[in-house]
Amino acid sequence: MTGKVAIVTGAGSGIGRATALLFAREGARVLAVDVDGDAARRTEQDAEGSVIAAQVDVSDESAVIDMLDRCDRELGSVSLLANIAGVGATTSAPDTSLEVWEKVFAVNARGTFLCCKHAIPRMAAAGGGSIVNMASVAGLVGLRNRAAYCASKGAVIALTRALALDHVADRVRVNCVCPGTVDSPWVRRLLDEVGESLDALVARQPMGRLGTAEEIAAAVHYLASDAAAFMTGSALVLDGGLTAG
């Protein structure tokens, strides 16, 4: 990734942070984007490499355009984009307010769409690029009490496939990653919210452990890199066997 310019969203925490740190270690110049500006700045401080923090809400179209303009000015033309920002919801459809539904779609689906919409023409003009979207096994199989989240991640997978076909000729590859349960600040918050213990969650995993943010970041890195030059429109599952049965 030496010399390449990357934008990583959700870079203040968990999988996004691990991805921004890995991309920087691998030589990319990284714009570490998060709605939580302090968290993004911590990623910048902790990086062994070139990382600039940016406070951006990916669901806000003008903020996304400003983000890409800033990337052009301060780092150069983006050729790698990892859309990792996301939010969850832990309810069945009848218990999901319209506000929660729209918030989940605003970040997970609209945010991914907006970053792709505005990055792709710039990538195409510069000769191509690679986009990795963060889906989830929740977009492949139903999970109980996750109606809005499952639907939003299904949208990310479908969007990924549509973009992959539309932009083959632009030399822009678009893939997504479908993690199972990954130990991150998010999952710790979720356990508190639903009143489940970490031990019970771990016991449900075929491998008897959760994934790590670094394992998912490695898959994002692979898909973003030239090692995956023949991959576009793929949904790569990393779930410790959760959906194998």
Ligand X SMILES: NC(=O)c1ccc[n+]([C@@H]2O[C@H](COP(=O)([O-])OP(=O)(O)OC[C@H]3O[C@@H](n4cnc5c(N)ncnc54)[C@H](O)[C@@H]3O)[C@@H](O)[C@H]2O)c1
Pick 128 or 188: Cβ nearer ligand X: 188
The least distance separating ligand X from the CB of residue 64, rounded to whole angstroms, comes to 9
Binding string, residues 154-193; x marks residues near ligand X by CB under 6 A:
-------------------------x-xx-xxxx------
Active-site residue numbers?
149
CA distance 133 to 158: 11
The least distance separating ligand X from the CB of residue 111, rounded to whole angstroms, comes to 6
Q: Which of 34, 43, 79, 122 binds ligand X (CB under 6 A)?
A: 34
Site for ligand X in 52-71 (CB under 6 A): 56-59
CB-based burial label for 48 (10 Å; 0-12, 13-18, 19+):
exposed
Total residues contacting ligand X by CB under 6 A comes to: 30
The least distance separating ligand X from the CB of residue 76, rounded to whole angstroms, comes to 22
CA distance 20 to 68: 16
Q: Which stretch binds ligand X (CB under 6 A): 32-40, 43-51, 69-77, 225-233?
A: 32-40
List the one residue out of 133, 113, 107 whose CA is nearest residue 35. 107
CA distance 46 to 57: 22
List the one residue out of 202, 160, 201, 152 whose CA is nearest residue 177. 160
Report if residue 35 touches ligand X, rule: CB under 6 A.
Answer: yes
Report if residue 111 touches ligand X, rule: CB under 6 A.
Answer: yes
Report if residue 15 touches ligand X, rule: CB under 6 A.
Answer: yes
> What is the sign, positive or negative, of the torsion defined by CA atoms of 83, 85, 91, 94?
negative
Q: Which stretch binds ligand X (CB under 6 A): 9-17, 22-30, 44-52, 191-199?
A: 9-17
The least distance separating ligand X from the CB of residue 100, rounded to whole angstroms, comes to 14
Q: Which residues form the interface with ligand X (CB under 6 A)?
A: 9-10, 12-16, 34-36, 39, 56-59, 84-87, 107, 111, 134, 136, 179, 181-182, 184-187
